[in-house]
Structure 1
Amino acid sequence: MLCTTVTDTGQITLPEEIRQHLKLVSGSRVEFVIDEDGQVKIFPLNVAIEDLSGVLYRPSIQAASLEDMEAAIFEGANDWA
Protein backbone atom coordinates (compact mmCIF):
# COMPACT_ATOMS: atom_id res chain seq x y z
CA MET A 1 0.00 0.00 0.00
CA LEU A 2 1.25 3.47 -0.87
CA CYS A 3 1.05 6.26 1.72
CA THR A 4 1.59 10.00 1.78
CA THR A 5 1.27 12.84 4.30
CA VAL A 6 -1.21 15.71 4.32
CA THR A 7 0.43 19.13 4.80
CA ASP A 8 -0.93 21.94 6.99
CA THR A 9 -2.55 23.42 3.87
CA GLY A 10 -4.30 20.14 2.97
CA GLN A 11 -1.96 19.23 0.14
CA ILE A 12 -0.54 15.80 -0.63
CA THR A 13 2.13 14.50 -2.97
CA LEU A 14 0.92 11.56 -5.02
CA PRO A 15 3.44 8.73 -5.03
CA GLU A 16 5.28 8.31 -8.34
CA GLU A 17 3.72 4.89 -8.96
CA ILE A 18 0.23 6.42 -8.78
CA ARG A 19 1.19 9.34 -11.05
CA GLN A 20 2.60 6.94 -13.62
CA HIS A 21 -0.42 4.63 -13.44
CA LEU A 22 -2.81 7.56 -14.01
CA LYS A 23 -0.45 9.15 -16.59
CA LEU A 24 -0.38 12.38 -14.60
CA VAL A 25 2.13 15.11 -15.36
CA SER A 26 2.64 18.57 -13.93
CA GLY A 27 -0.57 20.54 -14.42
CA SER A 28 -2.78 17.46 -14.78
CA ARG A 29 -6.23 17.71 -13.26
CA VAL A 30 -7.90 14.98 -11.22
CA GLU A 31 -11.37 14.45 -9.84
CA PHE A 32 -12.18 12.93 -6.44
CA VAL A 33 -15.42 10.99 -5.99
CA ILE A 34 -16.86 9.53 -2.79
CA ASP A 35 -18.76 6.36 -3.76
CA GLU A 36 -21.80 4.87 -2.05
CA ASP A 37 -19.53 2.81 0.25
CA GLY A 38 -17.71 5.94 1.44
CA GLN A 39 -14.52 5.11 -0.46
CA VAL A 40 -12.70 7.94 -2.21
CA LYS A 41 -11.72 7.39 -5.83
CA ILE A 42 -9.43 9.54 -7.97
CA PHE A 43 -9.91 9.94 -11.71
CA PRO A 44 -7.52 11.65 -14.12
CA LEU A 45 -9.14 14.38 -16.23
CA ASN A 46 -6.35 14.50 -18.78
CA VAL A 47 -7.49 11.67 -21.01
CA ALA A 48 -7.07 12.49 -24.71
CA ILE A 49 -10.21 12.04 -26.79
CA GLU A 50 -8.33 9.58 -28.98
CA ASP A 51 -7.86 7.30 -25.96
CA LEU A 52 -11.64 7.10 -25.50
CA SER A 53 -12.27 5.73 -28.98
CA GLY A 54 -14.17 2.46 -28.73
CA VAL A 55 -14.41 2.50 -24.93
CA LEU A 56 -18.18 1.89 -25.06
CA TYR A 57 -18.10 -0.59 -27.95
CA ARG A 58 -19.45 -4.04 -27.13
CA PRO A 59 -19.80 -6.54 -30.01
CA SER A 60 -22.90 -8.12 -28.46
CA ILE A 61 -24.83 -4.84 -28.15
CA GLN A 62 -27.15 -3.98 -31.01
CA ALA A 63 -27.43 -0.33 -32.07
CA ALA A 64 -30.56 1.43 -30.80
CA SER A 65 -32.74 3.59 -33.03
CA LEU A 66 -33.85 7.07 -31.98
CA GLU A 67 -37.32 5.64 -31.38
CA ASP A 68 -35.84 2.98 -29.06
CA MET A 69 -33.92 5.64 -27.14
CA GLU A 70 -36.97 7.89 -26.80
CA ALA A 71 -39.08 4.95 -25.60
CA ALA A 72 -36.44 4.05 -23.00
CA ILE A 73 -36.27 7.67 -21.80
CA PHE A 74 -40.07 7.83 -21.56
CA GLU A 75 -40.17 4.55 -19.65
CA GLY A 76 -37.43 5.69 -17.27
CA ALA A 77 -39.13 9.03 -16.69
CA ASN A 78 -42.38 7.25 -15.80
CA ASP A 79 -40.54 5.25 -13.13
CA TRP A 80 -40.14 8.51 -11.17
CA ALA A 81 -43.86 9.14 -10.97
Structure 2
Amino acid sequence: MTESTITSKGQTTVPAEIRERLGAVAGTRLVWHLMPDGSLIVRAKTRSLRDMAGMLKAPKGKRVSIDDMNPWR
Protein backbone atom coordinates (compact mmCIF):
# COMPACT_ATOMS: atom_id res chain seq x y z
CA MET A 1 0.00 0.00 0.00
CA THR A 2 1.33 3.44 -0.89
CA GLU A 3 0.75 6.51 1.20
CA SER A 4 1.47 10.22 1.27
CA THR A 5 1.35 12.99 3.85
CA ILE A 6 -0.72 16.17 3.78
CA THR A 7 1.34 19.32 4.36
CA SER A 8 0.34 22.25 6.55
CA LYS A 9 -0.88 23.95 3.35
CA GLY A 10 -3.21 21.02 2.57
CA GLN A 11 -1.03 19.70 -0.25
CA THR A 12 0.09 16.15 -0.92
CA THR A 13 2.14 14.33 -3.53
CA VAL A 14 0.54 11.50 -5.48
CA PRO A 15 3.02 8.62 -5.26
CA ALA A 16 4.89 7.81 -8.49
CA GLU A 17 3.44 4.28 -8.68
CA ILE A 18 -0.11 5.68 -8.62
CA ARG A 19 0.68 8.40 -11.19
CA GLU A 20 2.15 5.81 -13.54
CA ARG A 21 -0.83 3.46 -13.28
CA LEU A 22 -3.28 6.31 -13.87
CA GLY A 23 -1.30 7.81 -16.70
CA ALA A 24 -1.39 11.08 -14.75
CA VAL A 25 1.04 13.81 -15.74
CA ALA A 26 1.56 17.40 -14.63
CA GLY A 27 -1.73 19.23 -15.08
CA THR A 28 -3.94 16.15 -14.67
CA ARG A 29 -7.05 17.08 -12.69
CA LEU A 30 -8.15 14.90 -9.78
CA VAL A 31 -11.81 14.46 -8.87
CA TRP A 32 -12.50 13.69 -5.19
CA HIS A 33 -15.60 11.80 -4.01
CA LEU A 34 -16.30 11.44 -0.28
CA MET A 35 -18.63 8.48 0.15
CA PRO A 36 -21.36 8.26 2.84
CA ASP A 37 -19.42 5.51 4.65
CA GLY A 38 -16.39 7.83 5.00
CA SER A 39 -14.30 6.22 2.27
CA LEU A 40 -12.67 8.43 -0.34
CA ILE A 41 -12.47 7.85 -4.08
CA VAL A 42 -9.98 9.92 -6.08
CA ARG A 43 -10.25 9.70 -9.84
CA ALA A 44 -7.89 11.13 -12.45
CA LYS A 45 -9.80 13.13 -15.02
CA THR A 46 -7.70 12.08 -17.99
CA ARG A 47 -10.38 12.15 -20.69
CA SER A 48 -12.95 14.63 -21.86
CA LEU A 49 -16.48 13.86 -22.91
CA ARG A 50 -15.40 15.07 -26.34
CA ASP A 51 -13.00 12.10 -26.54
CA MET A 52 -16.05 9.84 -26.74
CA ALA A 53 -17.45 11.49 -29.86
CA GLY A 54 -18.11 8.91 -32.56
CA MET A 55 -17.64 5.87 -30.31
CA LEU A 56 -21.21 4.64 -30.80
CA LYS A 57 -22.68 3.82 -34.15
CA ALA A 58 -26.42 3.90 -34.89
CA PRO A 59 -28.00 0.54 -35.74
CA LYS A 60 -28.51 0.15 -39.49
CA GLY A 61 -32.01 0.91 -40.72
CA LYS A 62 -33.26 2.33 -37.41
CA ARG A 63 -33.77 6.06 -37.59
CA VAL A 64 -35.76 8.05 -35.05
CA SER A 65 -36.93 11.60 -35.66
CA ILE A 66 -36.18 14.39 -33.20
CA ASP A 67 -39.92 14.70 -32.49
CA ASP A 68 -40.10 11.02 -31.50
CA MET A 69 -37.18 11.52 -29.09
CA ASN A 70 -38.91 14.43 -27.34
CA PRO A 71 -40.43 13.15 -24.05
CA TRP A 72 -42.69 16.24 -23.75
CA ARG A 73 -45.17 15.45 -26.52
4+ residue segments displaced more than 4 Å: none
From the two aligned structures, give the one with the greater strand fraction.
Answer: 2
- One-letter code of the match for 2:8? D
The structure having more radius of gyration, on CA atoms, is: 2
- One-letter code of the match for 1:13? T
- When normalised by structure 2's length, the TM-score is 0.63
Q: CA RMSD in A?
A: 2.1
Residue 17 of structure 1 is matched in structure 2 by 17
- One-letter code of the match for 1:17? E
- When normalised by structure 1's length, the TM-score is 0.57
Aligned identity (percent) is 29
Structure 1 residues without counterparts, runs of 5 or longer: 55-64, 71-81
Structure 2 residues without counterparts, runs of 5 or longer: 57-67
1:66 aligns with 2:43: no
Number of corresponding residues: 57
Deviations 1:28-64 (A, max 9, x none): 11100012322110111122515xx46xxxxxxxxxx
- One-letter code of the match for 1:27? G
Superposition map of 1:2-81 within 5 A: 2-47=2-47, 49=51, 53=55, 66=69, 70=71
